[in-house]
Amino acid sequence: MASTSPTQNNASDASAPDDAGASTADGGTPDATAPTHPEQTWHLTIAYDGSAYAGWQVQTKQKTVQGELRTRVRLLFRSPELKVYGGSRTDAGVHALDQQVSFTAPTPPDMTPDKLVYVLNRWLPDDIMVLRARICPGAFNPRYDNAGKAYTYCIAPGRRVNPLFARFVWRTPRPLAVPAMREAAALLTGEHDFSSFAANPGYELESSVRKLYRLDVSEQHGLIFINAVGESFMYKMVRGLAGYLVHIGAGHAPAADATRVLAARDRSQAADSAPPQGLFLAKVFWNDDEWRHYEPLIPPFTLI
């Protein structure tokens, strides 16, 4: 373990910050004789630019968002076996505005939500930020307790964009027919078997039927935004939908082809998935009807 304070240029350095307070014996590296404290379950909301990460989930010898956060939380709470849970397992290169996280740890009495946010943000690399923290019931797990999610996919149709934002969009070779994309999106909305749009997750699914509440295509500032709102999503399903809508917009198939692709239940019948850099986990919902009032942030990278 490194013994120096973390810097912006070394995201893997996991030494404790000087102001970690009661979570360390002397404000620095935790000692093995630390007193025990009652366990509390914490709920964090975080945002991140996923460009430099191999996704959310911890992977051997790969830098991930979960790994960066878990390393620091384990040290801060002196809990080397602590587990960190995420509400969405975003892929490599995918970003998040509203990732939900939970963990349970022995918590000293002076560790408040505001202090936890402050200390972790002092400690984490600049491309990960804790937005909020709260103490919640011990059984809380954001992966299973949410009521749905919203994703936004960003496209630059046949045009260059400001280089400061280029890593957040998919630049297609030519302009796209947005009315055709909208027509296809309407056919894909609802409860369907989305096997044709999801990648193999490496394990058997109980069902490939999902309920897609909304699939909107909008234009602003010369960019195209695909907003997908649903109860749950399969592996790479949103990128599969985005890739197919671009396929329609480019004139490679009529909008009505969406019905055929859905019925096929065969991934090879749809287009290639959209690349990861344009995708944002935009919102996680906690109430069944919350999605009805949801308005996506356009463009989503204004907060990154």
Q: Is 127 tagged catalytic?
A: no
Query: Which neighbouring-strand residues pair with 133?
Result: 44
For strands 95-106 and 279-285, give the pairing.
Answer: parallel
In 3D space, the residue among 246, 223, 230, 101 whose CA is nearest the CA of residue 168 turns out to be 223
What's residue 7's pLDDT?
38
Residue 185 CB neighbour total at 10 angstroms: 23
Q: Which pLDDT value is given to residue 73?
A: 97
Please provide the DSSP assignment of 11-64 as one string. TT--PPPTT-GGGSSSSSS--TTPPP--EEEEEEEEEE-GGGSS-SS-BTTB--
Q: What is the pLDDT along the chain (304 residues), one digit of tens a residue?
A: 433 333 344 444 455 555 554 444 344 444 544 558 899 999 999 999 999 999 999 998 999 999 999 999 999 999 999 999 999 999 999 999 999 999 999 999 999 999 999 999 999 999 999 999 999 987 899 999 999 999 999 999 998 888 999 999 999 999 999 999 999 999 999 999 999 999 876 667 789 999 999 999 999 989 999 999 999 999 999 999 999 999 999 999 999 999 999 999 999 999 999 999 999 999 999 999 999 999 999 999 875 4
**Is the N-terminal amide bond of 299 cis, ω within 30° of 0?**
yes
Q: Do domains 39-143 and 146-287 have the same CATH topology?
A: yes
Q: What is the pLDDT of residue 23?
A: 46
Three-class secondary structure of residue 7 per DSSP: strand
Residues with Cβ within 8 Å of 250's Cβ and at least 6 positions away in sequence, in order, are 172, 174, 176, 177
* Tokens 């040290």 belong to residue: 75
Residue type, 25: A
Nearest CA among 286, 194, 303 for reference residue 244? 194
Domain spans of the chain, in order of start: 39-143, 146-287
Is residue 120 a contact partner of residue 73, using CB atoms and an 8 Å limit?
A: yes
The HSE-up count of residue 153 (CA atoms within 13 Å, CB side) is 26
Q: For domain 39-143, which CATH number applies: 3.90.420.10, 3.40.50.720, 3.30.70.580, 3.40.50.150?
A: 3.30.70.580
**Predicted pLDDT at 18:** 52
Q: For residue 58, give Cα distances in angstroms to 35, 101, 227, 228.
A: 29, 14, 27, 26
**pLDDT of the residue at 34:** 54
Assigned fold of 146-287: Alpha-Beta Plaits (3.30.70)
The pair of three-digit structure tokens given for residue 173, joined into one six-digit string:
């070779």
Q: Of 94, 10, 98, which is closest to residue 50 (Cα–Cα)? A: 94
| DSSP assignment string, 99-140 | EEEEEEEE--TT--HHHHHHHHHHHS-TTEEEEEEEEE-TT-
Annotated catalytic residue, options 13, 49, 91, 289: 91
pLDDT at 5: 38
| DSSP string computed for 224-262 | EEEEEEES---TTHHHHHHHHHHHHHTTSS-TTHHHHHH
First to last CA, the chain: 30
pLDDT score of 16:
53
- Of the candidates 147, 161, 124, the one whose C-alpha atom is nearest the C-alpha of residue 49 is 124
